Structure 1
């Protein structure tokens, strides 16, 4: 008898946006995957540590549990086309539209943070009765 777990560890898993899963039993480059699936990027799926899961807002956890039971929170790391997919890891295909959406959200969050920091600085200056240039 063979050891089934060894066979599973010797594979890499690629999850499609629709839920379909492909298994590869040898290393493959990200550029090969991207050429097979135009308009998609490849991400490494990184499970969150227990400490990171504790920092997730309760409202997010509650909303996710309504839709799916036993949700595991993960992070994803976008891979460059020059990188290779390694055996024993899980990867996800994401569309270019999803990548652009996340980049826009990050830029918006950064702008909001900068604006909030500037407002705090202005309030501190006003408290000290320092004239503020417009």
Structure 2
């Protein structure tokens, strides 16, 4: 609105074609300065690095959600809770699946292996004497 008022004042103060041309030039220059700076894209998240940082018997569901976002799946295998994420979808789909104990701690995981290799989740922490569930 300010630029329109300014242009009208300039046009009113100047008579003739030269004045209109100058007013148009001033208006064009002013509108060019009013453009917002382009938004910068957020830095990409290193989801593979977040997966490699998972420590059995230590990493929690809350930490995974903070690092990877909401899981693609949140379900049960027998009576055990399994969360999974699609991490990357280039030529090969890379996924992460974790088994959680009752406290929400990662007790087993599978990451980026061929789907031909079956995963039978088992509490690796109970086997090592480092956790219960």
Determine if the TM-score, normalized by the shorter chain, exceeds 0.5: no
Q: Which has the higher contact order (CA 8 A, sep 6+)?
A: 1
The alignment's TM-score, normalised by the length of structure 1, stands at 0.22
TM-score by length of 2: 0.22
